[in-house]
Amino acid sequence: MYKDIDITEINKGLDLFEGDIKMTRRRRSIRSEQHRWPLPVPYYLDRSLDMNAKGVILRAFEQFRLKTCIDFRPRRWGEQHVAIKKDTGCWSHVGKEEWKQDLAIGPNCGTVANVEHELMHALGFWHEQSRYDRDNYITINLENIEAGKEHNFKIRTTDTNTPYDYFSVMHYSKNAFTNGNGPTIITKLPEFQNVIGQRLDMSHYDVEELNKFYGCNKSISFLDHCSFDDESLCEMSVCSRRSRGWRKVSHTAAGPHSDHTYLGTGSQGTGFFMHFSTKRGSVGDSARLQTRRMTPRRSCKIQCLEFFYYHSGSWSDQLNIWIREFDGVDDIIGTRRLTSQIKGSPTDYWQLHHVPLDATKTFQVEFEARKGAGASRGGFSVDDINLSETECPHHTWQIRNLEEKLKASNTTPILYSPMYYSYDGYRYQIRVILEKDKLEVFVSLVSGRNDDALQWPCHWRQVTFTLLDQNPHIQRRMSKQRSVTSTSLWLNSDISPLRHQSDLPCPSMKGKTFSVSPLQQTDDDGPCTRKRRSISTARRIWSRPVTRLR
């Protein structure tokens, strides 16, 4: 993993407007319709680009699709497009200007946030600190600006329609163009001094302003989110077989003691989650929690279900994840198949779980909780469901009490992940070295069961590490991503098609088999909506506040 370098530092010595803007002719700072691109935005990945940069660019496109109404597609012959190439530095034009409009992703520029920053320029956006109202929020220290660079801090735009955004991916950092005597930008609110210039991801207001400018607001790949905090229950329905079923609660005696949405915010007890108790009843008692029906929109028929669960029941209790697909509006039963299963030893914390799906027609997801044998103190709880038309992470490593590990050790802590297998059979492990001011991450191949049948060496594989933001809503997260690509060693996803083209084939999904216990209880009763029940909100059964570290 390499050290973050500010774009103004990467581009030092280049003759660029405001540090990373290529100006071909004089133009007004006000955004206009003529500077908007048609959607989807046509693009071309030039052969000069590093393979790792190509993979990162496609990941940036996916972030735009997840968060905004902006989509991208490979250009057709003869049409106006954004030509993304390798050059010295990272830079772009502002808005649609030329038939073949260059955008540069050079050395040290290959991060999702840097690519987003330059694409935002190409889509018509200037830097956040150039807004007409910026003096109400920041102070420019002219005496600390490098000689000859003062023009980079002039006010440019007058047509903003969102609040000033310290979190914007388009904001300069506090030390942009500094002469070494201190910061060039001071925030009027001190708590944001180390926030400005973040290069994690687009902020909420970046997304809002982008959607407003392009006159659309529907995400390309996002499908649904549910935190169970409103009365509508996100249009979900419940039904049960000989049990009390799923209940909407704020806490349970055996855990969890608060919902996941507000965990760690100081607002424990204010939110809700869904809980299925296995303390009483008979083996095989079950209940289902079903999402609304959704129809895939993208050409690649791949989806990702993400949710948090808490298992406080018996080792033999099950949480089964089904997908039900419908053949048309007249099909009220559909066909369901099992896609994931959670069972085993209970834990005392919320866990993140991903389920890759491959629905090709209208579908809904069913969370079926099933009581097993043995004593139970609690059951299964579910919260913060996200569903999108994107590829799931291949593996998730949840490291608990990270701050405590840093404080408790007199030496540099080194953590090792479980052993993982890639989709095509390579076995590997992640190593993390924790230091006070940085994090080092390594991936190592280890001997596995498929070694004799695998290709060695295996070129052009990319591994992406994501330090996940704790915001429960997938569209609001600002996570840190870093990618590396192999040349003569294996790493992860095969991106070799990018040597000769500008996009990748659809992701594939490995099939799995599961056993549902007891076997005689697997009959499909059809969707819950045919016998809908109201959701009961449990009385408060635990009042002592509990503070828990994540």
Residue 154's pLDDT band (boundaries 50, 70, 90)?
Answer: very high
State mean pLDDT over 341-370: 97
Over 70: is that where the pLDDT of 396 sits? yes
Please report the pLDDT score of residue 150 as a whole number: 95
List b or e across 30-59, with b for residues whose CB sees 16 or more CB atoms inside 10 angstroms: ebeeebbbeeebbbebbeebebbbbbbbbb
Residue 439's pLDDT band (boundaries 50, 70, 90)?
Answer: confident
Which residue ranges make up the annotated binding site for Zn(2+)? 117, 121, 127
R_g of the chain, CA atoms, integer Å: 25
pLDDT in tens, 206-261: 999 999 999 999 999 999 999 999 888 899 999 987 768 999 999 999 999 999 99
Identify the CATH number of the domain defined by range 222-388: 2.60.120.200
Please report the pLDDT score of residue 525 as a whole number: 78
CA dist 88 → 10, 11, 12, 98, 99 (Å)? 9, 8, 10, 20, 22
Q: Tokens standing for 275? A: 């809980």
pLDDT in tens, 452-492: 999 888 778 889 999 999 999 999 999 999 998 886 544 44
Residue 158's pLDDT band (boundaries 50, 70, 90)?
Answer: confident
pLDDT in tens, 42-55: 999 999 999 999 99
Please report the pLDDT score of residue 53 as a whole number: 96
Please report the pLDDT score of residue 157 as a whole number: 78
Residue 205's pLDDT band (boundaries 50, 70, 90)?
Answer: very high
State mean pLDDT over 168-197: 98
State mean pLDDT over 306-327: 98
Q: Tokens standing for 367? A: 């969370």
State mean pLDDT over 57-65: 99
Pairing of strands 420-421, 427-434: antiparallel
The CATH topology of domain 395-494+507-522+529-545 is: 2.60.210
Q: How far apart are CA 396 and CA 351, in angstroms?
A: 10
Output 523 or 340, whichever has higher pLDDT.
Answer: 340
Over 60: is that where the pLDDT of 314 sits? yes
Stretch among 128-142, 374-388, 405-419, 423-437 having the lowest mean pLDDT: 405-419
Would you please indicate which residues are annotated as catalytic (active-site) residues?
Answer: 118
Long-range contacts of 538-543 (CB under 8 A, 24+ apart): 538/247, 538/248, 538/249, 538/250, 538/275, 540/250, 540/251, 541/251, 541/252, 541/253, 542/251, 542/252, 542/253, 542/257
Q: How far apart are CA 54 and CA 37, in angstroms?
A: 21
Span 7-214 CATH architecture: 3-Layer(aba) Sandwich (3.40)
Provide the CA 253 distance to its chain's centre, in angstroms: 32
Output 399 or 522, whichever has higher pLDDT.
Answer: 399
Over 80: is that where the pLDDT of 30 sits? no
What residue segments make up the domains of the chain, in order of their start? 7-214, 222-388, 395-494+507-522+529-545
Please report the pLDDT score of residue 511 as a whole number: 67
State mean pLDDT over 382-392: 98
Q: What's the pTM? A: 0.90
Residue 540's pLDDT band (boundaries 50, 70, 90)?
Answer: very low
Output 550 or 147, whichever has higher pLDDT.
Answer: 147
Please report the pLDDT score of residue 145 as a whole number: 98
Mean of pLDDT over the chain: 89
Residue 297's pLDDT band (boundaries 50, 70, 90)?
Answer: very high
Over 50: is that where the pLDDT of 57 sits? yes
Please report the pLDDT score of residue 539 as a whole number: 32
Residue 495's pLDDT band (boundaries 50, 70, 90)?
Answer: low
State mean pLDDT over 487-504: 64
Q: How far apart are CA 299 and CA 519, in angstroms?
A: 37
Over 70: is that where the pLDDT of 549 sits? no
Please report the pLDDT score of residue 25 as a whole number: 61
Please report the pLDDT score of residue 275 as a whole number: 98
State mean pLDDT over 368-384: 97
pLDDT in tens, 511-539: 666 667 654 455 687 888 654 444 444 43
Stretch among 18-27, 209-218, 334-343 having the lowest mean pLDDT: 18-27
Over 90: is that where the pLDDT of 79 sits? yes
Which residue ranges make up the annotated binding site? 117, 121, 127
Q: Tokens standing for 186? A: 């001071």
The 3-state DSSP class for residue 24 equals: coil
Over 50: is that where the pLDDT of 547 sits? no
Share of the chain above pLDDT 70, in %: 89
